Structure 1
Amino acid sequence: MKVVLFCMNPYSFGILEPIMKVLKQRNYQYVWFVREEVIQKFPFKNEYITSNIKEVVDFKSDALFVPGNEVPHFLRGVKVQVFHGFAGEKKGHFRIRKYFDLYLTQGPYFTRKFLQLKSKYKDFEVIETGWPKLDVYGQTLHKFDTDKKDLLNKFNVEKIILFAPTFSPSLTCAPFLEKEIEHLAIHKNYLIIIKFHDLMSSEFIKKYKDIADKTSNILYVDERNIIKYLLISDLMISDTSSVVYEFLLLNKPVITFKTHSKVFKWDNSLTYEKLTEKVKINLEQDPYKKERKEIFNEYHPYSDGKSAERMVDATEDYIKKHGVPESRELPWLRRYKMNKMFGKQ
């Protein structure tokens, strides 16, 4: 099987890495397509990458794994949606854009909704596999324990708090929590790690970097992959970011501000106030511990570290049943959009 790992944004690298490892184990041929604007952020040495869509056309792939919303219809191969997160409440998460042959869902909540959509559109398959980015939870859950111990000792703190808001202007809490974060940092038994999305506004990046520079127990990090910080942190502060669900699946408390989630199983505030008080309550009392179990069961009930394997298996099975499509039929407007983005082939 010949495979394209299709990346339009840097967040895709960490999602597709476990799939790449499975492809290596099975001796499959693969290439990374990375959009030219983000290719300098590609983290894997000795991997073949290209931003030339003509090269991908000539590769004649059998399958394309895509964490984003779009993929050129004219590329050969099964177009597989692997998703870029868990925030089903975000606009467009369940929108059918007609690009994909196969949707590989994270858990029952998503599977039910896409099966309903399948019955309506009748031109794609849906299989529940789990999400590859979280395979690390089943494989190396304690990989960064030493890093955590070193940080606790270095900063002489007891707990690590992760501030990881989304970048979306209409959803992010970043503009409203500067003073609250500074006030929280008065408590020197906390280390506050700030980890922003790759697409966060440069204005807020600068503001929070300035705060970190002048505050001894605030650490701003630029690393692409957030997994390390999810694993070492004791509590997360966020909003409507999909990493909320990734953190909850580690069975640790979350505080959000004005989340758009319709059903939340954590501490959500409708005002940008009392952050310090909420942190203390959630660390000491953990009042939403029972509710987090429901998130695990519905969103990602897999802890075996084999979601990437299931994704590759599901794609192999699809090809056995349906063959390899030479292209994907799209409405005219969608075709026009892809031709404009990548050039008409």
Structure 2
Amino acid sequence: MPDPEFYMMSKHYLLYGSERYALAILRPLQEAIWARGHKAAWFFDGPGAEELRSNETFLRTTREVREFAPIAVLTSSNAVPHFFPGVKVEVFHGFDAGKPRHIYIRGFFDLYCTTGARDTQAFTEKSHELGHFAVKETGWPKLDPFMREHGSPEPPPVRAQPVILYHSTFSPSWSAAPILYDNIRDMSRTGRWRWIVTLHPKSAPETVAKYKALENEYLRFATEDNILDLFPQVDMMISDTSSALNEFLLTYKPVVTFKNRRPGPQLIDIDSPDQLLPSIERALSRPPELMQAIREYADSIHPYRDGRSSERVLDAVDDFIAAGARNRKPKPGNWWRKIKIRKRLGYWGPA
């Protein structure tokens, strides 16, 4: 029987990041931790620490982390130092966009907090097969601020002068940025629509430079860290196989994709640049069958529109720990990956 006092005690949580995008994903969790009267601290194994605010706690060394003694390590990364104290919890860095290795298990995590029914089913099946991690559907913390403000069940009407968001992934094999460049350049100069362009942070510098050079009175190159900030400003999106397009579909607004790896009725997918113009026109007309497919898909990947996914993650962690913090089987050895993490962080002490 779980001890009721556990739920009342003061707790420490570590927020672990390996990329700058961890800030947008994990900060809502920090707010929920603070709201409960608990403590949160950050550790970065990569960029991001330089963007922390004065009221946020930054732990610079493994020793500081171990002294902080978190009950849980919450991360959007695919791996986590096994020698950090606490339950290891994966909250994901994006939705499944059809790229390889979304549903893969590296053996670092005790608990996966999934975003919606699609991922919950896939990870639960793996949990039953492997036995060394638990799964709890919570929703995605990154979306909490957005959903609290923009979680309306209906999209706003299209603007008199529609605004289009163009976003591309960075992988050369999936990115449409080089292919659609001429089309976007030409269409952005007509004034028929307004454009906001943003590229993945890992995009090739020459590609970023080309799109930045397109800026004019109708096109803005956006540098916002959190792409969610752009969603209320636009009426549709153009993309390829970026996980951000799934985030955008949660606004119930249309997306045109170029050679998406997993097209479906929720997308207007094209395979030739010549199809871009009519596809934009169709998206902005919002045909009922498309809008219904978008709604059904969005609700399957993230049905929560209450902005309380962070609270559900913390509840899931509490319940897992209170029930014994153990899974049916031990995690795999993972020796080679663990050695690489130890070497990177310069820690050779006990786990």
Counterparts of 1:17-96 in structure 2 under 5 Å?
A: 17-40=27-50, 42=51, 44-96=53-105
Match of 1:320 in 2: 322
Q: 3-state DSSP class of the match of 2:306?
A: coil
Q: Structure 1 counterpart of 2:320, which letter?
A: Y
Alpha carbons 1:3, 1:30 under 8 Å: kept: yes
Q: Quick check: 1:7 aligned with 2:17? A: yes
Tell me the equivalent position of 1:159.
162
Corresponding position of 2:274:
273
Structure 1, residues 254-297: CA drift from partner, whole Å, max 9, x if none?
00111112545210112233322211121024351121122123
The C-alpha deviation readout for 1:53-100, integer Å capped at 9, x for no partner, is 332233221101110101011111110000011125221111100000
Q: Is the partner of 1:20 in helix, strand or coil?
A: helix
Read off the aligned partner of 2:220 and give its amino acid letter. Answer: L
Letter in 1 for 2:245: V
More displaced 10-residue stretch of structure 1: 221-230 or 260-269: 260-269
- 1:132 — aligned with what? 141
CA spacing shift, 1:324–1:57, aligned 2, 3 Å? farther
How far residue 167 of structure 1 moved from its aligned partner, in angstroms, is 1.5
Shift in CA distance, 100/228, structure 1 to aligned 2, threshold 3 Å: same
How do 1:138-177 residues align onto structure 2 when only pairs under 5 Å count? 138-141=147-150, 158-177=161-180
For residue 296 of structure 2, what is the amino acid of its counterpart?
E
Contact 1:74–1:328 (Cα < 8 Å) also in 2: no
Following the alignment from structure 2 to structure 1, what is the Cα–Cα distance between the partners of residues 248 and 97?
16
Preserved CA contact (<8 Å) 1:88 1:94: no
User: Aligned pair in 2 of structure 1 residues 116, 328: CA closer, same or farther (>3 Å)?
Assistant: closer
Letter in 2 for 1:281: R
User: Could you tell me how far 1:24 is from its partner in structure 2?
Assistant: 0.6
Distance 1:85 1:142, change over 3 A: closer
- For 1:289 and 1:36, locate their aligned partners in 2 and report how far apart those are by CA, in whole Å: 39
> What amino acid maps onto 2:316 in structure 1?
A
SS at match of 2:112: strand
**Distance change (3 Å), C-alpha of 1:196 and 1:323:** same
How far 1:225 moved relative to its partner?
0.8
Residue 71 of structure 2 aligns to which amino acid in structure 1?
D
User: Cα offset for 1:329?
Assistant: 5.6
Which consecutive residues of structure 1, in runs of 5 or more, have no partner in the other structure? none
1:23-66 Cα deviation digits (max 9, x unpaired): 010111111112354433x2534212234233223322110111
User: Tell me, which stretches of 5 or more residues in structure 2 are unaligned?
Assistant: 1-10
SS at 2:165's partner residue? strand
Letter in 2 for 1:252: K
Q: Distance in 2 between matches of 1:268 and 1:138?
A: 27
- The one-letter code matched in structure 1 to 2:43 is F
Bigger shift: residues 48-57 or 299-308: 48-57
CA distance in 2, matches of 1:338, 1:263: 39
Structure 2 CA distance, aligned partners of 1:124 and 1:33?
23
Q: Distance in 2 between matches of 1:328 and 1:290?
A: 42
Report SS of the residue matched to 1:164: strand
TM-score, normalised to structure 1's length?
Answer: 0.89
Match of residue 7 from structure 2: none
Cα distance in structure 1, aligned partners of 2:222 and 2:146: 21
* Residues 73 and 329, structure 1, Cα contact 8 Å, conserved in 2: no
| 2:223 equivalent to 1:222 | yes
What's the secondary structure of 1:32's corresponding residue? Answer: strand
Number of residue pairs the alignment of both structures matches:
330
Q: 1:124 & 1:205 partners in 2: Cα distance?
A: 40
Q: Pick which of 28-37 and 62-71 moved more.
A: 28-37
Matched residue type, 2:193: Y
- 1:282 aligns with 283
**CA shift in 2, pair 1:324/1:112, >3 Å:** closer
Paired with 1:324 and 1:6, the residues of 2 have a C-alpha distance of 21
**2:214 match: secondary structure:** helix
The partner residue of 1:201 within 198, 204, 219 is 204
Q: Which portions of structure 1, spanning 4 or more consecutive aligned residues, are displaced by more than 4 angstroms?
A: none
Report the CA distance between 1:334 and its aligned residue.
2.3
Residue type at the aligned position of 2:321: I
1:94-109 matched pairs, under 5 angstroms: 94-109=103-118
